[in-house]
Every structure is written in C-alpha cells, then in structure tokens.
Amino acid sequence: MKNSKLYFKLVLSGILGLSLVSCDSKNDTGWEFAPNMYNSLGYEAQTQIEPNAINPNGMNMRYPVAGTISRRNYKTSFVQDDSTVVNDLMIYGLGKDDLALAETLKNPIPWSETVEEEGKVLYEKNCQHCHGAGGAGDGKVAAKYKGVPNYAADAYKNMTMGHVFHVITHGKGRMWAHGAQVLPEERWKIAHYVQRLQIGG
C-alpha cells in the first residue's frame, strides 16, 4: 500500500512538474547554450550584431563604389581559325520582350567545325530531351509537353542566331529560360549548331 501511494505521488508530482515547465511563452527562443553558434565572430555582410569600426556607421557590408552598378560579368575568350585569341565581354542586357532587337545580334564566336561540334555536345546535353536529336521537336519530353518546334519547318528555318540565343536565355512560349544553366559562350555555340539543324543538318 505504501509503495502504491509513493508511486502515485511520484507520478502526480512528475505530471505537475511537466505542466509547469511547458507553460511558457511561445515567443521565447529559450536558452542559448552556445551563443557563438548563433552570433558569428567574423564580420558577416547582413548582420548587425558586431559593428565594423572601419566602415561608416559601423556597417559590415560596404556601399558599391560611386558610379557603378552590379551585373553578372562573363569574361570569355575563344580562338579564331587563324589561331588569334579573341577576348570578348559577353554581357546580355536585353529583356525578355526584346526579341526583335535580339534578332539583329551577330554571333561573336566565329564558326568552325570545332565550335559546331562543341555546340552539338551542349545541344545534346541541354536541348535534345525536348527538341530531339535532329531538331525535329520529337524529344522524349515533347511527347508529353506539346508545342516543341521543328527547326527545319518554314516558320523556324530562318531564325537568326541572335533569336536562338535570346530564346535560350529568356525562354519563349512553353520553353523555360535556360540563361541560368547555360553560359553565354555556350549559348552562342548552341546557336551555331541549331543553324545546322535548320538546314536539315
């Protein structure tokens, strides 16, 4: 009998203790046992915990230099047929709706068999699953995702390389943008290969 009373008291006190501990504000984050895991000792750009004495107003993230704007920058180089190395800064600032302007662009990478072969490899990796091996719009994805064009069809066989580059960058119709996955130099190489497919290559 004594044991059962003692057991009952222990269980009751345990329940009461748990109920008291659980009655706490939900807005309280609790104890920080290792605060250095939350507040980094190094200067972080977006934090306001540790001010930086070097920068104005104790900021950790500096202002951009006056007169500058941030943008993605691609410094690329390629070799022309005469073995001349050409450095070209490929920055593409045209918006999605600037397709007519994009059609006037010239491919900065000169054609060569090597460039076209590289374009083919990139096409097979990034485009073939929808557009098909021969550019006929018969890829595996196209079987379920209708509306993929045939490059050799009348409506598409005269597309300029600027048009192809722009569509790869921003997408068009049901095609999604691939600008984040394919570098500008690679897009121009794909455009060379697509031109081959346009003539039934």
The predicted-structure confidence for 138-176, as pLDDT tens digits, reads as follows 999 988 888 899 999 998 999 999 999 999 999 998 899
Among residues 76, 158, 58, the alpha carbon closest in space to that of 115 is found at 76
pTM exceeding 0.75: no
pLDDT of residue 1: 56
CB atoms within 10 A of CB 111: 15
Identify whether 158 is part of a domain: yes
Full residue range of the structural domain in which residue 168 is found:
75-198
Question: Among 10, 25, 58, which residue terminates a domain?
Answer: 58
140 and 82 in one domain? Answer: yes
pLDDT of residue 85: 62
101 and 30 in one domain? Answer: no
* Residue 158 and residue 199 in contact, taking contact as beta carbons nearer than 8 Å: no
In one letter, which amino acid is 48?
A: Q
83 and 53 in one domain? Answer: no
Predicted confidence band of residue 8 (pLDDT cuts 50, 70, 90): confident
* Residue 63 burial (10 A CB sphere; 0-12, 13-18, 19+): exposed
Predicted confidence band of residue 39 (pLDDT cuts 50, 70, 90): low
88 and 11 in one domain? Answer: no
Whether residue 50 has pLDDT greater than 80: no
User: What length does the chain have?
Assistant: 201
Identify whether 69 is part of a domain: no
Distance CA 171, CA 95 (A): 11
Identify whether 93 is part of a domain: yes
